[in-house]
Amino acid sequence: PDPKLTLTVKDAQPSDHTGTYSVQVKNVESDKVPVTVTKKVPKFVKDLKPNKTPLTEGEQLILECELDTAPTTVQLQINGEKVPDDRVKTEVKDKKIKFTLDNIKLDESGNFTAKVNDEVESKPVSITVNADIPKFVKNLTINKKQFDIGETLNFECTLNKPFNEVIWFKDGQPIEEDARISFSAEGPKLKLTIKDAQPSDHTGTYSVQVKNVESDKVPITVTKKVPKFVKDLKANKTPLTEGEQLILECELDTTPTTVQLQINGEKVPDDRVKTEVKDKKIKFTLDNIKLDESGDFTAKVNDEVESKPVSIKVNADIPKFIKNLTINKKQFDIGETLNFECTLNKPFNEIVWLKDGQPIEQDEHISFSTDGPKLKLTVKDAQPSDHTGTYSVQVKNVESDKVPITVTKKVPKFVKDLKANKTPLTEGEQLVLECELDIAPSKVELKLNGETVPEDRVKKEVKDKKIKFTLDNVKLDESGDYTVKVNDEVESKPVSVKVNADI
């Protein structure tokens, strides 16, 4: 056999295979050979190193190192405690180790170490995590401190970076968005906008809190702007005469919300005045001004400011007779037309015609007319009993002259006396009697010896002022004195007519 002897130990283990080895051949022992099997301790070729320190909370922490051998187990520790697996991402590539912690927290400040193969630890790495404290690069401001009602307020500030936890405050109380208030963020810029600002709602001190860091406090005031009169209240004229139009105008420096016209401190009723507001200009119109509207007028604006008073004088509109009441004569015959006339200084409505101090009304005889300032009373077919009297006209309590007139029944006169066609006559002949008056008669009758000739015996013809009586076939007993009675009041001279027998 081969004289060479060999002992082979594979995959030597420290505990099993460390010791002193010898070989004995037939009671002859060889030299003793001691051997030690040791576990190899990894060495750090590159120490544990962070991507940065200090960090701000929320940032990512990366820790890396390199060994001289590939590890079997690796573990990240903080202050000697294992970092939970769900908190760290561990990557081993051959001998390189990489630990990643996302969104680092404030309580993750401390000494980090890498433990390898449960037996060797890296040098500790001290990591500081700082709070992510907002900083106001540009603190809260607004362009002015005093605002008028209705204006827009813009509060602005700029942070060192964008943040989510933003709360706006007014007078130390959180505010919310509404119809007027809106918040906006554009990167690190924050903005609070208030539209149509109101004194009671929006006057106050504003601030913004970002992650418990509060901005400067900014006080602002919203005031109702008091209008000023750029042009004082002015009248179109004064004094006025009652019935005229009064116009009052003024101008403000701002558009008013409410306007009101006052007289002697009292509101002029809405139905009495027409109010027009065009931007900042105000116009009041009072038609048909009255006597009791004399006084001090003012314009009250927004229920808080009043114009300087304008003193307005209204004079009575007293009628004047430029031409007093007249008529062309004082004595009238029955049936005539009467024309009374007068002329005023201007047209008036309140007109009352009087006869003997009593108001009269229009009827079939009487009519009134006006032609501008001219007044006229016409009486047609005047009658003595109805229309004799004293006439006047009253205009707004001003009375004209009194004009007395008389209407008389005119007594007719004979222009041509009664005359027969012939005398004597023979019975059976025709008798014609004619006369003429100075006026047309209303009634005529033929008389014989003072007795009325029967109507069936005489043919009567009246043509205007001419009268003609015809008796056909005259009789013997119709001899006598003929007369004409006119209007039951006047008689003609008698005409003696002789009728002879027809022998």
What's the pLDDT tens digit per position in 256-292?
989 999 999 999 999 999 999 999 999 999 999 999 9
Annotate 445-471 with DSSP letters as a single string: EEEETTEEPPTTT-EEEEETTEEEEEE
Give the pair of three-digit tokens for residue 281: 């200009």
Classify domain 229-315 at the CATH superfamily level.
Immunoglobulins (2.60.40.10)
Q: How many CB atoms lie within 10 A of CB 48?
A: 20
Beta carbons of 222 and 150 less than 8 angstroms apart:
no
* C-alpha distance from residue 101 to each of 83, 105, 401 (Å): 10, 9, 121
Decide whether 229-315 matches 414-500 in CATH topology: yes
Q: Residues 168, 171, 176, CA angle at the centre, nearest 5°? A: 35
Protein fold of 44-130: Immunoglobulin-like (2.60.40)
Tokens of 100: 């990643």
Written as tens digits, the pLDDT of the chain (503 aa) is 789 999 999 999 989 999 999 999 999 999 999 999 988 889 999 999 999 999 999 899 999 999 999 999 999 999 999 999 999 999 999 999 999 999 999 999 999 999 999 989 999 999 999 998 999 999 999 999 999 889 999 999 999 999 989 999 999 999 999 999 999 999 999 999 999 999 999 999 999 999 989 999 999 999 987 899 999 999 999 999 999 999 999 999 989 989 999 999 999 999 999 999 999 999 999 999 999 999 999 999 999 899 999 999 999 989 999 999 999 999 998 899 999 999 999 999 899 999 999 999 999 999 999 999 999 999 999 999 999 999 999 999 899 999 999 999 878 999 999 999 999 999 999 999 999 999 899 899 999 999 999 999 999 999 999 999 999 999 999 999 999 999 988 999 999 999 999 88
Q: Tokens representing 116? A: 């390898």
| Architecture of the domain made up of 136-222 | Sandwich (2.60)
CATH architecture of 321-408: Sandwich (2.60)
Amino acid identity for residue 322 in this structure:
I
Q: What percent of the chain has pLDDT over 70?
A: 100
pTM summary value: 0.44
Alpha helices, H only, 29-74: none
Non-local CB neighbours of 314 within 8 Å, separated by 6+ positions:
239, 240, 241, 242, 289, 290, 291, 292, 293, 294
* CATH placement of domain 414-500: 2.60.40.10
Domain spans, the chain = 44-130, 136-222, 229-315, 321-408, 414-500
Tokens of 269: 């009723």
